[in-house]
């Protein structure tokens, strides 16, 4: 009878050890997923001072324009840690509204007084580089 009790206790100890190891593996997996998501770049972030979006208040031909930041407003969280903003850019073509998404943890919003290069692309998109 004593041998049966010892074997039963050993069996419970082995099962508990397996459960602990399984839980540790699951926790490490979840921590890895969180870390991967935190350091993964988003689709709209090209590099530190480049933003992609659209001009919403004018229909411009493709080209490159010099500009100056006038405002940045309507910044609202959207998805995957991105914020969607509207920036005013004063150019030779007038005051343009640039709608764009960016990760505020990696890129500061465009700001009043920023010197900018605005590229109007053929597909109706725009790219803004902070100089």
Residue 30 has what pLDDT? Answer: 78
Residue that the structure tokens 């350091």 belong to: 39
Residue 92 has what pLDDT? Answer: 96
Residue that the structure tokens 């790219």 belong to: 127
- Tokens of residue 58, six digits: 């004018």
Q: So where are the chain's domains? A: 1-40, 45-130
Residue 61 phi, psi dihedral angles, 5° rounding? -70, 150
What is the chain written as a DSSP string?
-HHHHHHHHHHHHHHHHHHHHHHHHHHHHHHHHHHHHHHPPPTTEEETTEEEEEESS--PPSEEEEEEEEEEEEEEE-STT-EEEEEEEEETTEEEEEEEEE-TTTSPPP-TT-EEEEEE-TTS-EEEEE-
Chunked into runs of 10 residues, the chain (131 residues) has average pLDDT values of 55 73 83 63 57 94 96 92 95 96 90 96 91 92
- d(C-alpha 40, C-alpha 32), whole Å: 12
Residue 38 has what pLDDT? Answer: 55
Looking at CATH, the fold of the domain delimited by 45-130 is given as: OB fold (Dihydrolipoamide Acetyltransferase, E2P) (2.40.50)
Residue 125 has what pLDDT? Answer: 94
């Amino acid at each position: 009878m004593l041998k049966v009790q010892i074997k039963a206790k050993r069996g419970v100890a082995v099962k508990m050890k397996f459960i602990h190891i399984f839980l540790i593996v699951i926790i490490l997996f979840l921590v890895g997923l969180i870390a991967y998501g935190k350091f993964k770049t988003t689709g709209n972030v090209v590099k530190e001072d480049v933003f992609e979006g659209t001009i919403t208040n004018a229909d411009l031909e493709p080209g490159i324009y010099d500009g100056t930041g006038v405002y940045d407003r309507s910044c609202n969280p959207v998805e995957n840690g991105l914020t969607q903003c509207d920036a005013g850019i004063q150019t030779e073509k007038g005051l343009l509204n640039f709608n764009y998404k960016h990760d505020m943890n990696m890129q500061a919003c465009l700001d009043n007084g920023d010197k900018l290069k605005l590229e109007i692309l053929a597909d109706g998109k725009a790219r803004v580089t902070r100089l």
